[in-house]
Structure 1
Amino acid sequence: MALPVLKTERLYRQIANAIVKSIQRGEFAPGAALPPERELAKQLGVSRSSVREALIALEMTGWVDIRTGNGVFVTQPLPSASTPAAEADYSLEDLLQARLAFEGMLAEMAARNGSPTQREQLRALADRLLRYRANDADFLEQDKGFHLLISEMSGNEVLREMMEFLWNKRDSARFRRLERHFADNTFTDEMNRDHQQIAAAIYAGDAAAARAAMESHLTQVKRRLLG
């Protein structure tokens, strides 16, 4: 008799399930506010970023309503499902950490290997991004082009394909929901300042500065979205 393969459940899923069980036990009534993220993290002994990701999952499955600036409230009425369904087998924090580790290397390689034409294209694209003031679909399409061009400038086709894979992971319903709640228009301004610094370092062929600028950019994105 073959035994089933056991899988470790992602931390944010464990947190989401724990909150659902508390709601079902009546500890948080429909319409009531949940404790703040920081308090939930302390009670559960986990990071605030994991709590935030769990709350996003709970909102998507109808258990809570996130009202940015006002708190998180249990929905009324409660959903019929006993536990929230899993949307993906990876956490958003893992995704952002992967990008941070990977794209710093790509920026460094782009500074070394990019052609003069690609350097001009990257600088022009960074300038074009300045026209966008909102973190909307048009901005994200240009942002995608910026990061994919850097991967092309690495000169390695496998790395370019890996960057496209990471971007497609980023283009998920959970990530878009996270941005909707925690990325306002100042977020777009911050990203564009970072884009200018990244493009300038790559254009100048300064590999160390390009890596540092990219890593600073993605650290800032992670801090803003996950706290």
Structure 2
Amino acid sequence: MAETETNNRQRLYRQIVEQILQSIDAGEFPAGTRLPAERELSEKFGVSRPTVREAVIALEAMGRVSVKTGSGVYVLESKGVSNVGDSVSPFELLETRVLIEGEAAALAASMISDEQVEELKHALDDMARENESGNHQSDVADRAFHAVIAAATNNRLLTAMIENLWDVQEGQHHIRAAHHSVCKRDPEARLQEHQDIYDALSSRDPQAARTAMRNHFGRGINALHQRTEQEAVEAVQRELSKTRERFSLTRLNQTST
């Protein structure tokens, strides 16, 4: 029973994270403003205050809010998104993540602490629970997983760069939509890829960590190619259907009668 209650609370806090992020992205809570008090958020979302507290912790780990003791929780500006623009493609983002996060994983494997390995396991377990519940589009556990790896490099510039890549992915609608479509294609493969990354990092094996991370994004690139090709074929088929309807003998016969 206790395990069930814990799982339910974890699912709840992830839902609250998603709802607060949607409110931030919609402009309800602009950068620099303070979020409502814990009690108000608890009443707004109909959850307990500990659930709200866990959601705030997750948002802080994602770099979306800053908790100031005695003052409140403040929304942070989403770094980098406004400077990139809609011209960046999902392929460019994935290519960049292959190059940067592959090397970050290798570095993290030689630096990661026991506590960070445990954090990584918690994030992996959260991803598994999301799969079980059919919530394949949530980025909360996924981002937390990659954030632990970034922090384990002990390189603040690398950590900031990886956070920025996540901000681009979540802040650009066309990239976020492409990412979600890829996540839905094979959630079990996606989970296994993260398991492989975890295994390499927990074994402190830099080469295996680099390979596992690159394989993870490599499958994403292939899935994105398949999605793009499918959309192109469907677009051509729609145009051909319009042409067939426009220049059909049936249409000509109807016109001449």
Shorter-chain-normalised TM-score: which range?
0.5 to 0.7
Superposition RMSD on alpha carbons, in Å? 1.8
Is residue 189 of structure 1 aligned with residue 188 of structure 2? yes
Match of 1:100 among 88, 91, 98: 98
CA distance in 1, matches of 2:89, 2:125: 32
What displacement does 1:127 show? 2.1
CA distance in 2, matches of 1:155, 1:182: 30
2:204 alignment partner, SS class: coil
Letter in 2 for 1:169: V
CA distance in 2, matches of 1:169, 1:161: 12
Q: Quick check: 2:104–2:149 contact (8 Å CA) kept in 1?
A: yes
CA distance in 1, matches of 2:217, 2:190: 9
Deviations 1:17-55 (A, max 9, x none): xxxxxxxxxxxxxxxxxxxxxxxxxxxxxxxxxxxxxxx
Is residue 149 of structure 1 aligned with residue 148 of structure 2? yes
Letter in 2 for 1:177: A
Deviations 1:176-227 (A, max 9, x none): 322454542x522211110111011101101110000000000001111233
Give me the TM-score of the superposition, normalised by structure 1: 0.57
Letter in 2 for 1:216: N
Match for residue 158 of structure 1? Answer: 157
State the number of aligned residues: 139
**Larger-Rg structure:** 2
Q: Quick check: 2:110–2:206 contact (8 Å CA) kept in 1?
A: yes
Match for residue 174 of structure 1? Answer: 174
Q: Quick check: 2:110–2:205 contact (8 Å CA) kept in 1?
A: yes
Q: Quick check: 1:135–1:187 contact (8 Å CA) kept in 2?
A: no
After TM superposition, the runs of 4+ consecutive aligned structure 1 residues lying more than 3 A away are 179-183
CA 181–153 in structure 1, closer or farther in 2 if over 3 Å, else same: closer
Deviations 1:149-177 (A, max 9, x none): 10000010111000000111111210232
- The percent of aligned pairs where both chains have the same amino acid is 28
Letter in 1 for 2:136: N
Worse-superposed segment, 125-134 or 189-198? 125-134
Match for residue 139 of structure 2? Answer: 140
Q: Quick check: 1:120–1:203 contact (8 Å CA) kept in 2?
A: no
Give me the TM-score of the superposition, normalised by structure 2: 0.51
CA distance in 2, matches of 1:126, 1:203: 12
Q: Quick check: 1:194–1:217 contact (8 Å CA) kept in 2?
A: yes
Unaligned runs of 5+ in 1: 1-86
2:130 alignment partner, SS class: coil
2:186 alignment partner, SS class: helix
* Higher fraction of helix: 2
Match for residue 35 of structure 1? Answer: none
Q: Quick check: 2:128–2:191 contact (8 Å CA) kept in 1?
A: yes
CA distance in 2, matches of 1:146, 1:99: 14
What displacement does 1:110 show? 0.9
Which aligned pairs between 1:98-137 and structure 2 lie closer than 5 A?
Answer: 98-133=96-131, 134-136=135-137
Match for residue 8 of structure 2? Answer: none
Worse-superposed segment, 127-136 or 153-162? 127-136
1:132 alignment partner, SS class: helix
CA distance in 2, matches of 1:207, 1:116: 16
Letter in 2 for 1:206: D
CA distance in 2, matches of 1:208, 1:107: 9
CA distance in 2, matches of 1:221, 1:110: 22
CA distance in 2, matches of 1:109, 1:147: 13
Of the two structures, which has the highest relative contact order with CA contacts closer than 8 Å and spacing of 6 or more? 1
CA 219–206 in structure 1, closer or farther in 2 if over 3 Å, else same: same
